[in-house]
């Protein structure tokens, strides 16, 4: 099997279409960032409190909202997430509600508001910690344990917590279920001190405003350093114009990816930034493969026009470009479809970024080289030679080694 054998597509001839395509997406993204959704910072960068809750039955958004209102929490974000059958809801409070003195105040308010029919003096088993259970058993001593009480009750508490979290996904609906996991006497003793609410807190994220600002600065710095690193490496390995072309291309990819998050109003979290930095590296891969071939062909085909050489190089590497992009895309798609809710933003960024990154190494990076060349020859300067010279030296060295 082989795709794109002897491909001969005039990519450079279509550069105006490419430019139009890229402009439409970049401008749409920029427009959304500036005038519509803005840059949708997640809690990592904005600060605030997010509580991820799993319910036993299908949650009623209005009831949750009413409970939050009663607790005095304003501007609460309530959003379903994950598979519908998971009954999962994200409850968020923005930064204004969270100062650093009472960083976990909102969390406690949210959880208390959800405990609508909690009996007096009983703890909620679905949200009880391992330690709370162990302490309770040690006090009640349902097994009449002797000197090894500490270990025995620790094991019982662990078994109950494991059953709740690993087998039942976090929410128990009746105490009797536990008889499968723990000693019946221990389970019976739970009656006096515990009740079952209809939800469990799965995940809590609280970020103070100071950290949010700090992280925002760092994310920006990391992106800038990454781009600068690429520019320097490519300028050293090839020629400065190759570095510039690659960095412009990657910047274009980053802009469109962030733009897609803004257009779809998806939150940008720390892991999304990680995905974007990965894309900066990945998108460069494709560009480098094409550039490497251009450099090689510049040496072999000294008589031909640069635009022909570039076209030929793109066509020669097309099979590889599409194949690897396709394979990486396949793995990323698996991540997007099966990787779970936590990685949703991360894999979304990769899905978009790999498509754009592959497109741009053909449609943006190579035409920049040719445009630069045209501009030089219009000013009466000699065509690009430095790159081919550099390569021929190194080429000989490689051959000598072989």
Partner 1 sequence: MNKNLGWKMGVIVATLVVFLFGIIGIPDSWSGKGLLAAIGNRIHLGLDLKGGTHLILQVQVNDAVTVDSDNAIERLKTDLRAHKISYAEITKPDPVNAPEKIVLKGLPPESRSDLLSIVQDRLPEYSLTSGADNSWTVAMKPQNLSDLKKRAVTQAIETIRNRIDQLGVSEPIIEEHGLGQYQILVQLPGVDDPARVKDIMQSTAMLEIRQSMGGPYASEQAALQQNNGVLPPDTMLMPGHSIGATSGNSGPSWYLISRASAVTGRDLRSAEPSRDENGQPSVSFTLTGEGGRRFGAFTGSHVGDNLAVVLDNKVQEVAVIKEQIHDTGVINGRFGEQEAKDLAMVLRSGALPAGIKYLEERTVGPSLGTDSIRAGVTAAVIGMLAVLIFMLVYYHAAGINADVALILNLIILLGFLGFSGATLTLPGIAGVILTVGMGVDSNVLIFERIREELRSGKTPPSAVEQGFSHAWITIVDTHVTTIVSAIILFIFGTGPVRGFAVTLSFGLFANLFTAVFVSRVIFDWVLNRKERGEALSIG
Subset of 7-46 contacting partner 1 (CB under 8 A)? none
Q: What is the rounded CA–CA span in Å between residue 332 and residue 354?
A: 9
Per CB under 8 A, contacts with partner 1 among 127-166 are 128-132, 161-162, 164-166
Count CB atoms within 10 A of the CB of residue 41.
18
Nearer to partner 1, 1 or 84 (CB): 1
Q: Does 289 bind partner 1 (CB under 8 A)?
A: yes
CB of 343 to partner 1, least distance (A): 6
CB of 402 to partner 1, least distance (A): 5
Q: Which residue has the tokens 């508490």?
A: 157
Q: Which helix (H) or strand (E) segment is 386 a member of?
A: helix 386-401
Please identify, among the stretches 13-21, 27-35, 318-326, 373-381, the one whose residues bind partner 1 according to the rule CB under 8 A: 318-326
β 199-207/48-55 pair status? antiparallel
Please identify, among the stretches 173-181, 186-194, 200-208, 253-261, the one whose residues bind partner 1 according to the rule CB under 8 A: 200-208
Q: Considering only CA atoms, which of 367, 365, 370 is closest in space to residue 383?
A: 370
CB of 242 to partner 1, least distance (A): 11
3-state secondary structure 149-190: HHHHHHHHHHHHHHHHHHHCCCCCCCHHHHHHCCCHHHHHHH
Q: Which helix (H) or strand (E) segment is 54 a member of?
A: strand 48-55
CB of 118 to partner 1, least distance (A): 16
SS3 50: strand
Q: Does 282 bind partner 1 (CB under 8 A)?
A: yes
CB of 232 to partner 1, least distance (A): 9
Nearer to partner 1, 78 or 277 (CB): 277
CB of 386 to partner 1, least distance (A): 17
β 123-124/77-81 pair status? unpaired
Q: What are phi and psi of 303, to 5 degrees?
A: -80, -25
Q: Considering only CA atoms, which of 190, 34, 35 is closest in space to residue 125?
A: 190
Nearer to partner 1, 32 or 287 (CB): 287
Nearer to partner 1, 22 or 127 (CB): 127
Q: Considering only CA atoms, which of 263, 257, 284, 265 is closest in space to residue 347?
A: 257
Per CB under 8 A, contacts with partner 1 among 338-377 are 338-343, 346-347, 350
Per CB under 8 A, contacts with partner 1 among 206-245 are 206-208, 210-211, 214, 218-219, 221-222, 225-226, 229-230, 233-234, 237
Q: Which helix (H) or strand (E) segment is 90 a member of?
A: strand 88-94
Count CB atoms within 10 A of the CB of residue 76.
21
Per CB under 8 A, contacts with partner 1 among 379-398 are 394, 398
CB of 130 to partner 1, least distance (A): 7
């Amino acid at each position: 099997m082989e795709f794109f054998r002897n491909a001969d597509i005039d990519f450079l001839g279509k550069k105006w279409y490419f430019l139009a395509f890229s402009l439409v997406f970049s401008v749409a993204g920029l427009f959304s960032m500036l005038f519509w959704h803005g840059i949708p910072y997640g809690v990592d960068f904005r600060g605030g409190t997010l509580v991820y809750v799993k319910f036993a039955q299908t949650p009623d958004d209005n009831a949750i909202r009413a409970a939050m209102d009663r607790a005095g929490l304003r501007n609460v974000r309530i959003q379903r997430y994950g598979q519908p059958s998971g009954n999962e809801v994200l409850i968020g409070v923005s930064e204004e509600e969270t100062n650093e003195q009472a960083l976990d105040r909102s969390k406690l308010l949210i959880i208390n508001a959800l405990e609508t029919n909690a009996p007096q003096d009983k703890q909620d088993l679905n949200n009880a910690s391992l330690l709370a259970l162990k302490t309770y058993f040690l006090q009640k001593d349902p097994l009449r344990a002797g000197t090894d009480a500490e270990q025995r009750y620790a094991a019982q508490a662990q078994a109950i917590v494991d059953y709740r979290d690993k087998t039942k996904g976090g929410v128990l609906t009746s105490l009797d279920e536990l008889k499968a996991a723990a000693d019946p006497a221990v389970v019976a003793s739970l009656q006096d001190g515990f009740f079952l609410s209809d939800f469990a807190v799965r995940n809590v994220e609280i970020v103070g405003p100071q950290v949010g600002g700090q992280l925002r600065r760092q994310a920006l710095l990391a992106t800038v350093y990454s781009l600068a690193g690429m520019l320097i490496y490519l300028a050293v390995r090839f020629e400065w114009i190759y570095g510039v072309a690659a960095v412009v291309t990657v910047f274009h990819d980053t802009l469109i990816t962030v733009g897609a998050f803004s257009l779809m109003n998806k939150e940008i979290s720390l892991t999304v930034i990680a995905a974007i930095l990965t894309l900066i590296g990945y998108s460069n891969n494709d560009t480098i493969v094409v550039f490497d071939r251009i450099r090689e062909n510049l040496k072999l085909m000294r008589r031909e026009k640069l635009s022909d050489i570039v076209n030929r190089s793109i066509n020669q590497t097309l099979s590889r470009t599409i194949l690897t992009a396709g394979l990486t895309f396949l793995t990323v798609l698996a991540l997007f479809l099966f990787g779970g809710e936590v990685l949703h933003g991360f894999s979304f960024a990769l899905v978009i970024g790999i498509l754009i990154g592959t497109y741009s190494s053909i449609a943006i990076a190579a035409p920049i080289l040719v445009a630069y060349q045209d501009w030089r020859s219009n000013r009466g300067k000699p065509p690009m030679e430095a790159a081919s010279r550099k390569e021929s030296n190194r080429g000989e060295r490689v051959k000598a080694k072989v």
